[in-house]
Structure 1
Amino acid sequence: MLPQLSPATADALRTALRRARYSTDGVRALLGQGAHLALGRGEVEPAYRASRANAGADGGELGVLVRLLLLGSTEPDAAVTAALAPLAPADAAAAGLLTASGDGWRAALDLRPYGDDSDGESDDDRGAEWWVLSDLDARRQQRDHVTGVGAASLTLAAATVRRQVGSLLDLGTGCGVQALHAVRHAAAVTATDVAPRALAMARATFALNELDVELLDGPWLEPVAGRRFDQIVSNPPFVPGPARVDYVYRDSGQDGDAALAALLRTLPEHLEPGGVAQLLGSWLHVRGEDWPERVRSWLPPGVDAWIVQREVADPALHVGTWQRDAGLDLTSTAAREQAGAWLDWMERERVEAIGFGFLNLRRTDGAPTVVFEDLPGDVDDPLGPEVAGWLDRVDWLRAHARDEALLAAPLAVAPGVVLETYAEPGVEGWTEVGAAVARLDGPRWRHEVDGPAAALLAGCQGALALGELVELLAVAHDRPTDELVAAALPAVREFVRHGVLVPAGPQA
């Protein structure tokens, strides 16, 4: 059954959830830190116990909702009636939210609070609080399963630029997570999906949160043919494999990474000048091919692109990861047959590994900047502000593309940048053998530097033009100025791109 929230049902449910404080803060306070962390790991019993122990003998209305909607418990009719008032349990069941179970009720869908505490560039993006409807984990092996607020959704949300825009497209919205964030910084939000069940979940989520989102039915960009947007975000079906669809949320139905290639070729057509598209994706590492060149071949003219590879998995790890994600028993005959067919396909296609990461595109009329980078490991800070800064810095570098313009600009070492030196032991103690500048925020970029480069960076305090600093350095090191300029400018451009150096003064 698809969820169908009438205005009256949505209003009554919203009233009940607010009264019970069914919010991220409310649930966290009820469960306590230990049980809340355990629930995040998928350990239900500590949360179940805490929901009763911390809210009185009967668990209270919030405890009932937590056990009913988050923990998969069957709760007595009287307790559910009180917790959901003014929404009657029978009306909640008619809307597809509950299922009768003996003398009580259990959840038919996952309904959970979701908050955004990220420090985006928009003040409106802080402290947002919503409720999200999606399928229960028990339905994970269904072809049209609709995932909730998962790792991929959180990853994309944290990497999205949050500047105010006129229009935003959430391509392949699923249950609507990216659109929820988008309404905080976009005047008009459009969301699309090809799956009827996903559209129903998103529609119910938007209705419950009183959000005005245009929701369109159709594959890929067909529903918005001829339209352009200031920003596009997408968590598309990005799992490379044979041309089949086992699960709509992850499988494109096209061979390998062909769907991602087609999307990148056409996406910029739907961007306004200066518009930005951000999406998650996976690409194949094919034997005998360079993966950046493979992805570069998909990009149309007229786009800046920053492609960041976060992970690389070998074929076995890739297949096993996504089979576990689907809740399969990897020892079962069916799972082994599926894995075998998947691995056979990779062998035929000469696939050595699968890359995963972010693809950031911007439509530009200038000379495009296209950069491919690896960023493995954890990133503690949200990448959204970093992407926004990268786009700004690329604009600045484009305006200072001529060497004369760059040399005339004053630059400063960014806050949070340090110089690290390292030494090795010897018979006379420690001997310094190298140095690097590193950022302590964002992606933690790190660059090895020699003595002259370190001295140049030390002089970048926003007071003198870069050319003046190079001339002083040439005198100090008794080297020709032209030689230092030729050596310094490529490194300076990379320092600016990575936010180690920032423009200072009136040209910033």
Structure 2
Amino acid sequence: MPEFSDELCARLREAFQRTRYDADGVLEALGAAAHAALGRGEPELAFRVSRYAGELGTLIRLFLLGGSEPSAEVEAALAPVTIEDALAVGLLRADGESLAAGLDIRPHGDEQGEWWVISDLDSDLLGGEVPPEHVLGVGHASLSLIRATIRRPVGTLLDLGTGCGVQALHGARHARRVTATDVSARALALADATFRLNGLDVELARGEWFAPVARRRFDQIVCNPPFVVGPPRVDYTYRDSGLAGDDASALVVRQLPAFLTEGGVGQLLASWLHVDGEDWADRVTRWLPPRADAWFVQRDVADPGLYVGTWLRDAGIDPRSPEGRAKASAWLDWFADNKVQGVGFGFVTLRRAEVAHPTIVCEDLRHAFDDPLGPEAGGWLDRVAWLREHGDDLLATRFRVPATVLLETVAGPGEEGWETTIRRLHRTDGPGWQHELDELATALLAGCRGALPLSDLLELLSFAHGDSVEELQDAALPMVRELVRHGMLEAA
């Protein structure tokens, strides 16, 4: 595809800044009700309101609503970009006597500022199935990875499989140098246009998986790979790897730590199969290379039928059509042949750790929570490092329960009045971890106020309840380690 030159991007940026085609400007022009309706996929209210927004309204209808606009109005809204230049690079396309968007270009931002992201039109605006080389925009998966990524200053960052480049945009906030790779030439061209439009210097390299950065190491790697699981085929490069089942996720997990600097961190979205007779945690743990801390967080498990239907619609294929039924049949046959009962989806955080016994944890986190997972992932790595350094000294450590942790008790009627049946520890921030406790564990944590070391608390507990100190230590130490990892117990 034709290149977006620096000069063209500068003029396009000028047009967007002049018309206030940014997240705040769009919200102000549409109002909360129309903006919310647009987010639900209900564009009519936004069409109506945008008629009163002048040139900004023209850009909203053109790029966000998929409308066709008169050439004169488009020319005025995009000035100083000419219609000829916009048509030449595919930004616009002719639609009878009017003009329509040829590419998706929309505002995207964070708490520090805004960008514009260029991608291909989605299936709704195309009115049908997307092409094989489709470049996906900022979707739910991209946003979830953005929220799950650790944002700490680093020297070098690799965005593996950059697509439209949105992960690299966010990475540029905290990395001095950013490299973005993709197997798709079209994806790299659109990512390059996104970077130029936003005035960012990002190194681009084309190739499969880690081949473009062979023998290089990075302080941080982020990856939103083609993680859709199923038969080994490539219908769409943005989601299909050509590898069978969950082999794409396994490949990234297996190879990524070798491309990290010592202590470097990699984070990715991944999918894994739930196979009859196999624990998913055992499955993903086998993917890991030596000397890598790993945290697998399962956010959802999809039924195979629901999974297939969701991804057919994502590509703009009607599951009721002959094509949809044929694709679904082949997909479901593959699931059945491989005894797949479900498809897990979640986040993987990896750290290169040159230690004999790295920490590997797989856990479910399927309940809803509002806080982004990125700070929690960074905290988890910090706490794992603390446990590695101080793990032999836990009994000498003074612990305290953070103020964000609460104890919930549930009581039922008993022979002597109300009897506590459930004791549950809640962390009220982050992902909202919960832990069931017994009476002795509840009593132990009640004493964790930073005054006495753990060994003294266990001796007091032994005296009060008649259990041996050794038995209490054997029961308490694994619980303490888990509570520390979850940020529910900390050194005073």
Instruction: Give the TM-score range, shorter chain.
Output: over 0.9
Tell me the alpha carbon deviations over residues 398-441 of structure 1, each in whole angstroms, 9 at most, x when there is no partner.
11222xx1111122212311000001246876432221111111
Select the residue among 273, 278, 295 that pairs with 1:284: 273
Overall identity of the aligned pairs, in %: 60
- Structure 2 residue aligned with 1:120: none
Q: Report the residue type matching 1:133 in the other structure.
A: I
- Structure 2 residue aligned with 1:78: 72
| Residue 331 of structure 2 corresponds to residue 342 of structure 1 | yes
Tell me the alpha carbon deviations over residues 68-127 of structure 1, each in whole angstroms, 9 at most, x when there is no partner.
1111111122222221111112211222211133443211011100011xxxxxxxxx32
SS in 2 for 1:490: helix
CA distance in 2, matches of 1:471, 1:23: 62
- Structure 2 residue aligned with 1:248: 237
| Residue 487 of structure 2 corresponds to residue 499 of structure 1 | yes
- Structure 2 residue aligned with 1:122: none
What is the correspondence of 1:26-425 to structure 2 with a 5 Å cutoff?
26-52=25-51, 55=52, 59-116=53-110, 126-137=111-122, 138-139=125-126, 140-366=129-355, 367-402=357-392, 405-425=393-413
Alpha-carbon shift at residue 348 of structure 1 (Å): 1.4
SS in 1 for 2:391: coil
Q: Indicate conservation of the 8 Å contact 1:3/1:204, yes or no.
A: no
CA distance in 2, matches of 1:497, 1:276: 17
Pairwise CA RMSD of aligned residues? 1.5
| Residue 473 of structure 2 corresponds to residue 479 of structure 1 | no
CA distance in 2, matches of 1:21, 1:130: 12
Q: Report the residue type matching 1:37 in the other structure.
A: A
CA distance in 1, matches of 2:449, 2:2: 59
Q: Report the residue type matching 1:365 in the other structure.
A: E
- Do the aligned partners of residues 181 and 32 (structure 1) sit closer, same or farther apart at CA in structure 2, a change above 3 Å counting? same
Decide which moves more: 361-370 or 152-161.
361-370
CA distance in 2, matches of 1:483, 1:427: 30
| 5+ long unaligned stretches in structure 1 | 117-125
With normalisation by structure 2, the TM-score equals: 0.96
Q: Indicate conservation of the 8 Å contact 1:422/1:432, yes or no.
A: yes
Q: Report the residue type matching 2:60 in the other structure.
A: V
Q: Indicate conservation of the 8 Å contact 2:93/2:102, yes or no.
A: yes
CA distance in 1, matches of 2:451, 2:112: 39
Tell me the alpha carbon deviations over residues 156-191 of structure 1, each in whole angstroms, 9 at most, x when there is no partner.
000000011111100000000100100000111000
SS in 2 for 1:400: helix
Q: Report the residue type matching 2:247 in the other structure.
A: A
CA distance in 1, matches of 2:482, 2:378: 16
Select the residue among 427, 437, 443 that pairs with 1:439: 427
Q: Indicate conservation of the 8 Å contact 1:3/1:97, yes or no.
A: no
| 5+ long unaligned stretches in structure 2 | none
Alpha-carbon shift at residue 480 of structure 1 (Å): 2.6
Q: Report the residue type matching 1:128 in the other structure.
A: G
- Structure 2 residue aligned with 1:467: 455
Q: Report the residue type matching 1:207 in the other structure.
A: R
CA distance in 2, matches of 1:220, 1:491: 39
Alpha-carbon shift at residue 49 of structure 1 (Å): 0.9
Q: How many residues align?
A: 487
Q: Indicate conservation of the 8 Å contact 2:225/2:248, yes or no.
A: no
